[in-house]
Chain A
Amino acid sequence: MAEAIIRVAGLGKSYRTAAGLFAALRGVDLTIARGEFVAIMGPSGSGKSTFMNLLGCLDTPTSGDYFLAGRNVAQLDRDALAALRNRTIGFVFQGFNLLPRMSLEDNVALPLVYAGQPREARRARARIELGRVGLGDYAASLPSRISGGQQQRVAIARALANSPQLILADEPTGNLDSHTSEEIMALFEALNRDGITIVLVTHEPDIATFARRQVRFRDGLIVSDLPTPSGAIA
C-alpha cells in the first residue's frame, strides 16, 4: 500500500448548542493512501460535512489526531491551516464559489496570489490550468457568462493552481444535470489517474461509483468502508 496522505485517529468534534454539547463526530479512524479516489457518503447530519471541514483544515477537531501528508495538523494555528489550504489542498464546492467580479483567469490565479507568486507566473499558471479543464479560450470572461458545468471546471482549475496533493470536493455535481455531472466526474477520474488524491462527498450513489472506495457515515461514526464493486463502474 502507498504512503498515507490522510490518517485520522479517534477524531472527534463537538459543538456547544442551546440543547447542550452536540457530538458531530465521535471518534473516527480512517486512512487514505496517496492516489486514492474516495467517496464519503451518508445522510445529512451523519457528520460527513464536519469530517470534510476537518479534512480541509477549515476547522480544528476537539479530540483525536489528523495527519495530513505526515504532519499532525490538529493543533496548528489559523495561519498554518491557511497555508495548508493554499498549497496542499484544493477545494471544489457544490456552488462553484467563483468570485463574480473577477475574470476566470484571475479566479484561477487567486490561490497563487496568496502563495505570493509574481504576476507573470500567476498568469501563465492560470492559463495552463484553464487549458487543462478545456476552457483556455475563456480566460478573460466573467463567471456569469459561462454555464454551471463550465464554472465547475474553472473551480477545478482553481483547485489545481497550486499543484495540491489532495482535492476535496463537496457535492461537486449537486447543482449540475446528470450529463454535465458525468463530464465533471470524468475530469476527476483523469486527475486521479495523474496521481492526485481525491476525496468526494456525495449523497448520490451514481456519483459515488466513480470513486474506487466508498466510506459511509452515520451518527458521527463510519459504518462501512468498502471498495466500489468493479461491475458498477459506469
Chain B
Amino acid sequence: MLRAMLGEAWLAMGANRMRTILTMLGMVIGVGSVVLMMAIGQGAQYAVAQTIKTMGSNLYILISGSTSTGGVRSGGGGGPTLSVADAAAIAELDGVANVAPVHQGTQQLVYGANNWSATVVGTTPPYLDARAWTVISGHPFGDSDVRSATRVALIGQTAAANLFGADDPLGKTVRIRQSPFVIIGVLGRKGQNLDGRDQDDTLIIPLSTAQRKVFGTPFAGSVRLIMVQATSAEAMPTVEASMTALLRQRHRLREGQDNDFFVRNLAAAADSAAETTRVMSVLLGAIASVSLLVGGIGIMNIMLVSVTERTREIGIRMAIGARQKDILAQFLLEALMISVAGCLLGLVLGIGGALLTNALSDMVIVISGGSVVVAFAVAAGIGVFFGYYPAHRAAALDPIEALRHQ
C-alpha cells in the first residue's frame, strides 16, 4: 500500500515537473539558508569560546586605584595601592589557584637593526597558568629569576615574527631601554582577545627586572595589577568576597571608606561576549527560518492548486473505494515528499555554501549534526503542517461533485 502510494506521489510530482521543482526550490533555499546561518552562528560561538579559553578561565583582575588623600581622589590605577605582599597574602586564601602581580606597559624592543613596539609584562611564574599561556620552545622563568631579577624573557609569536623574522628567537638578545634580555622561551599562539587586541604581541619578563630595569617605578614592591585565578567558577564569589575583605584589612580601610582598588571579573566579560554571539546566532537562524516558512506556504499553495486540478481524479478514486483517509494520506505524502526532497537538496546547498564561505574567508564555520537533524525535522514538519489543509480539503470533497468536475 505504502509503496503504491509512494509511486503515485512520484508520478504526480513528475507530471508537473517544472512546478514541483519551483515549489521545491522554496524549501531548498529555506533549508539551505538555515543550515548556512546556523553554521556561521555556531562558528562565531566557537571562535568566541576559543578566544575566551586563551584569556584564562575564572579570572579576576585587581586594579590599584582611587586613593583618597585629603579629599583628592584619583581614578583607577591612579596610585599603586596594591603590593607584591598583597598578592602573596591572596595566594593563601581558599579557592585561589594562581596569583600573579603584574606591571605592564608598552615598550620599544630592539634586536639588531629591527625594532618593534610590544606589550612588556613584568610578572611572576603563576601568570602563565592564570592566563593559559604555553611555552612551545625553551622554558619559562622561575621564582629564582624573579628573586634575582635576571634579564630573561618569554616572547609571543607576533613580537617574535617582527623582530626575528623566520629565525629561531631562542637564545637571542633583545634590548629594552638599553637593557639586554635573553629570550629563553617562545609562547604558544593565542590570537586576538575579546577587545580585538593581538595577545601574541607581547614579551613576558620577571616582575622584579621589569620594575628595576624597564619601568623604573619609584614604589618598589607595589604593582598596578594583580591577576587572581579561582580554582573553579563556583569558587569565584567566595574568592571575590574573601579577597576584598583581606585587602581592606591589609590596607587598613575603615568601615564606610571606599575600596582603594577595583575588582574586575573577566569571566563575566567572557560570559557576556559568549551571550552576544549566542543571541546573534539565534537571530540568524530566526531570519533564515522565515524563508523556510515562505517555502512551506509555497508547498501549501501548490498543493491547493493540485487538489483543484485533480478534483475529478479524487472523485474517481472515491468511486472505486478510496476512503477519506486514503485521499488525505495521498496528498499529505506528496507534500511531504516535496518538502523532504527540497530539504535534502537544501542541506547539500547549505553545507556547500558553508564550506565555500570557509574557503573564501577566514570565518570559522561549524556544521553540527544537530543543526542538520533540526533542519530535516523542521522540513518534514512543514510538509505535514502545510500539506494538511490541502489534503484535508481533498479528502472532504463530495464524491458526486468531484466526479462531475471537469
Contact = CB atoms under 8 A, between A and B. Distances in A.
Interface of A: 53, 56, 58-59, 78-79, 82-83, 85-87, 91, 93, 97, 99, 101-102, 110-111, 113-116, 119, 122, 158, 162
Interface stretch (B189-197, B283-291, B316-324, B379-387): B316-324
Given A53-B400, A99-B313, A119-B3, A86 B11 contact: no
Interface in B317-333: 317-326
Contacts of A79: 323-325
12 contacts: A58-B400, A78-B324, A79-B325, A82-B322, A82-B323, A86-B321, A93-B403, A99-B316, A99-B317, A110-B317, A114-B317, A122-B4
B110 to A, nearest CB: 84
Given A82-B321, A85-B320, A97-B319, 9 more contacts: A58-B319, A85-B319, A85-B321, A86-B320, A97-B312, A99-B317, A110-B320, A114-B321, A158-B320
A58 B11 CA distance: 27
Contacts of A97: 312, 316, 319, 403
Nearest to B395: A78
Interface in B1-27: 1, 3-5, 8, 11-12, 15
B399 interface: yes
Contact of B323 (A58, A78, A110): A78
Contacts of A86: 320-322
Contacts of A91: 319-320
A87 B321 contact: yes
A115 B326 CA distance: 11
A89 B312 CA distance: 19
Interface residues of B, number: 24
Most buried by A among B3, B319, B324, B403: B319
Contact of B4 (A83, A93, A113): A113
B131 to A, nearest CB: 70
A215 B187 CA distance: 105
Contacts of B324: 78-79, 82
Nearest to B315: A97
B118 to A, nearest CB: 75
A139 to B, nearest CB: 16
B121 to A, nearest CB: 77
A110 B321 CA distance: 9
A114 B400 contact: no
A102 B323 contact: no
Contacts of A115: 321
B281 to A, nearest CB: 46
A101 B9 CA distance: 11
Contact of A114 (B3, B322, B403): B322
Contacts of B326: 114
A101 to B, nearest CB: 5
Contacts of B322: 82, 86, 114
A154 to B, nearest CB: 13
Contacts of A82: 318, 321-324
A79 B11 CA distance: 26
A115 B403 CA distance: 21
Given A110-B317, A119-B3, A101 B323 contact: no
In the A-B complex, the 4 residue pairs with the smallest Cβ-Cβ separation, listed nearest first, are A86-B321, A114-B321, A82-B323, A111-B320
Most buried by B among A59, A82, A85, A111: A82
B114 to A, nearest CB: 79
A162 B399 contact: no
Interface in B378-406: 399-400, 403
A85 B1 CA distance: 18
B314 to A, nearest CB: 11
B16 to A, nearest CB: 11
B319 A56 contact: yes
A101 B11 contact: yes
Most buried by A among B8, B313, B324, B399: B399
A176 B15 CA distance: 28
A132 B326 CA distance: 29
Interface string B40-68: 00000000000000000000000000000
A111 B313 contact: no
A115 B322 CA distance: 9
